[in-house]
Amino acid sequence: MLKRNVPLLITALVGVFLIVANFFPSLSAMSEDFTVFFGIIAAMAFVLGGGSLLKVHLKKISDRNAGWAFSLIVLGTFAITLAVGLLKIGVPPNPTFPDKPWSGSVNADGTAFEWIYEYALKPLSATMFAMLAFYIASAAFRAFRAKNIEAILLLGTAFIILLGRTFAGYYLTSWIPIDGPFSGLRIEELSVYIMQVFNTAGSRAIIIGIALGIASTSLKILMGLDRSYLGGGN
Amino acid sequence: MSMVDRLANIDRRWIFLMMGLAVAVPIIYIGITGKTLPEQPTPLAQAAFDEIDKLPVGSRILLAWDFDPASEGELGPMASSFVRQCCQKGHRMYFLTLWPVGTQMIQKSASLVIDGFYPDLEYGTDWVDLGFKAGNEAVIKTIATDFGQMFPNDARGTPIESIPMMEGIASISSFDAIINVSAGYPGSKEWVLYAATPYKKPLLVGCTGVQAPQMYPYVPLQVQGLLGAIKGAAEYESVVNAWVRRHTIETILEEADVDAADAETMTTSFLADSGDLTAWLATPAAGGLTAAKRTALSDAVDGDEPGIFLEAQRRMGPQLVAHLLMIGLILAGNAVFFVTRRRGGVR
């Protein structure tokens, strides 16, 4: 009972205080303290995250679940990176404090941490992102079908944006005078118009909807009606 | 087997190959020839430039580099151009990041642009790297009112009290503008909500193509300039490059005691016809210029643009071919779909 009610009470009190503090400048200093607490908790979350990573993958390895070897690689690279960073392997001293061997930055040129970033993290991240182009191309051929009016509108818009974001858009309709009455029909102009008018209208509606949803969910959390953040499946 | 049947059952690896070639061939072609496609800046890219340009020399600019290597290909060029414009204009730059690997992005901007092209700028006086801080939007909320609480030291461990350009920096209100290059959360949206809007600071955003539609609703009151993906970067890059060229020429001419109005006219004339520069350099009016200044003037008039300031424009080539391929694939896929359906098959 206590285990569940105390967190609910803390959440409700802090939440209500922060809302009230927003309307009273005299309470702003205390409100800022809470923001600093959040920063400390966020930093601690890195430790918890590491612990959670270890727990999940160690279990997967011990149970010999499918793909357990990948978990082994995850834990190995995690341990190496952590050790290299914490032990500051290959880090030269800070020029301001030359007699303090650990005073340099792990990100300095030539350090082991920088090597891992430059030759492992960077190419792997870029490769993962670049692979999207191949899957989108495959999806373009197999999935984008003009099956109904909505799909036709979507495809038409996609064509204008795809062309408008390249030189082709400018080239194809460059014969329309830029200062004439039909300049808005130039593909690059149409592309900007779609983004600034149709997209903005739709996005604003979504943003307002999300804001109302957040307000409603926050209220439920403060009132203790939504307890999912406590975990335990209740 | 008919053509339609072959297309309907095409191995996806052929599509991957086509996309690989669509990107690789233009990269190789542009790499060999050095040619780029012309860019016409949209009002949003021009607004981003104008916002930095209209600030007085020495303004304090907060540069938040919230991206990582995964999106560096898309965002790196615009980050370089933002820094270049700030350096050329003489603004003071305060770098920070809310992304753990954003520190490397800051280091790259600093080494490529500042160390490479503006070596006279001094660390701690003209620019400072404040590094990464965990806490996402809470960091923004805190520095909005108390900068020193989150950043007591710079990324090199120097206390901010010892950094000359940190004097007078108390909160977000101490800055004249914010530039955010963002690949997601935390990023542009958080800078709009917790810094730029409540404290009425100009905010210029450079973001990925996926994020751009979410940022348009904030333009122009909360976001004054928006660069969406590599297209926005290419437009802005072309504006900055043209301006840097003009600005360099005008500055050298003014150093040779040419008055500002004449320097502007002469710059236009030199850029239209480099022969005019040769003719002017032979006149006594150019006698006050040192040999180094003469070389710098000639380079500014008809020298090649450094490669790192053409990265975005170069990437528009692969983007053009890849987009045309995508349109072709969509059309081909639909043609196959309708022919198959007419025959009575369902795909």
Report if residue A82 sits inside a domain.
Answer: no
Report if residue B161 sits inside a domain.
Answer: yes
Nearest to B70 among A28, A129, A144 (CB): A129
Nearest to A199 among B156, B213, B323 (CB): B213
Q: Do residue B95 and residue B224 come from a single domain?
A: yes
Return the pLDDT at B79.
96
ipTM for this prediction: 0.83
Give the closest-approach CA distance of A180 to chain B in angstroms. Answer: 17
How far is Cα A54 from Cα A45, in angstroms, rounded to an integer? 14
CATH of the domain at B206: 3.40.50.10160
Report if residue A125 sits inside a domain.
Answer: no
User: End-to-end distance of chain B based on CA atoms, in angstroms?
Assistant: 17
Instruction: Determine which of B96, B139, B330, B338 to mutate to test the interface with A (most A C-beta atoms within 10 Å).
Output: B330
Report if residue A70 sits inside a domain.
Answer: no
Give the closest-approach CA distance of B170 to chain A in angstroms. Answer: 14
Statement: residue A30 has pLDDT above 70: yes
Q: What is the pLDDT of residues B7-30, one digit of tens each?
A: 888 899 999 999 999 999 999 999
Report if residue B121 sits inside a domain.
Answer: yes
Report if residue A156 sits inside a domain.
Answer: yes
Report if residue B31 sits inside a domain.
Answer: yes
Q: Do residue B224 and residue B136 come from a single domain?
A: yes
Domains identified in chain B, total number: 2
pLDDT band for position B193 (50/70/90)?
very high
How far is Cα B198 from Cα B200, in angstroms, rounded to an integer? 6
Name, in order, each residue with C-beta under 8 angstroms of B207's C-beta and a sequence gap of 6 or more: B75, B181, B182, B183, B187, B188, B215, B226, B227, B228, B229
Q: Do residue B165 and residue B73 come from a single domain?
A: yes
Q: Do residue B168 and residue B50 come from a single domain?
A: yes
Report if residue B306 sits inside a domain.
Answer: no
Q: Do residue B146 and residue B199 come from a single domain?
A: yes
Return the pLDDT at A95.
79
Report if residue A2 sits inside a domain.
Answer: yes
Q: What is the pLDDT of residues B69-104, one digit of tens each?
A: 999 999 999 999 999 999 999 999 999 999 989 999
Q: What is the pLDDT of residues A221-232, one digit of tens each?
A: 998 888 888 876
Domains identified in chain A, total number: 2
Q: pTM higher than 0.80, yes or no?
A: yes
Nearest to B15 among A42, A138, A195 (CB): A138
Q: What is the pLDDT of residues A147-199, one digit of tens each?
A: 899 999 999 999 999 999 888 888 899 889 888 888 889 998 899 899 889 99
Enumerate the residues of chain B whose CB falls inside 8 A of the CB of residue A195.
Answer: 212-213, 216, 228
Helical residues (DSSP H) of A63-148, grouped into ranges: 68-86, 112-116, 122-142
Q: Do residue B203 and residue B154 come from a single domain?
A: yes
Enumerate the residues of chain A whose CB falls inside 8 A of the CB of residue B209.
Answer: 165
- Yes or no, beta carbons of A196 and B157 under 8 Å apart: no
Q: Do residue B28 and residue B66 come from a single domain?
A: no
Q: How many residues does chain A have?
A: 234
Q: What is the pLDDT of residues B246-298, one digit of tens each?
A: 999 998 888 877 888 888 888 888 888 888 888 888 888 777 778 888 888 88
Give the closest-approach CA distance of A1 to chain B in angstroms. Answer: 32
Report if residue B78 sits inside a domain.
Answer: yes
Identify the domain boundary among A17, A43, A61. Answer: A61
| Residue B151, domain extent | 43-239
Q: Do residue B78 and residue B147 come from a single domain?
A: yes
| Residue A19, domain extent | 1-61
Q: Do residue B173 and residue B213 come from a single domain?
A: yes
Report if residue B331 sits inside a domain.
Answer: yes
Q: Do residue B113 and residue B161 come from a single domain?
A: yes
Q: Do residue B10 and residue B53 come from a single domain?
A: no
How far is Cα B118 from Cα A107, in angstroms, rounded to an integer? 22
pLDDT band for position B346 (50/70/90)?
low
Identify the domain boundary among B213, B239, B265. Answer: B239
Report if residue A23 sits inside a domain.
Answer: yes
Give the closest-approach CA distance of A75 to chain B in angstroms. Answer: 20
Q: Do residue B141 and residue B107 come from a single domain?
A: yes
- Yes or no, beta carbons of B330 and A141 under 8 Å apart: yes
Helical residues (DSSP H) of chain B, grouped into ranges: 3-8, 12-33, 43-53, 72-89, 102-109, 116-117, 137-143, 147-150, 188-191, 212-215, 229-255, 260-272, 274-281, 291-302, 311-342
Instruction: Determine which of A167, A192, A199 to mutate to test the interface with B (most B C-beta atoms within 10 Å).
Output: A167
Nearest to B323 among A107, A162, A204 (CB): A162
Identify the domain boundary among B210, B239, B268. Answer: B239
Identify the domain boundary among B239, B259, B291. Answer: B239
Nearest to B216 among A130, A163, A195 (CB): A195
Report if residue A230 sits inside a domain.
Answer: no
Report if residue B262 sits inside a domain.
Answer: no
Report if residue B312 sits inside a domain.
Answer: no
Statement: residue A96 has pLDDT above 80: no
Strand ranges of the sheet holding B60-66, from the earlier edge strand across to the other edge = B127-132, B92-97, B60-66, B177-182, B203-207, B225-228
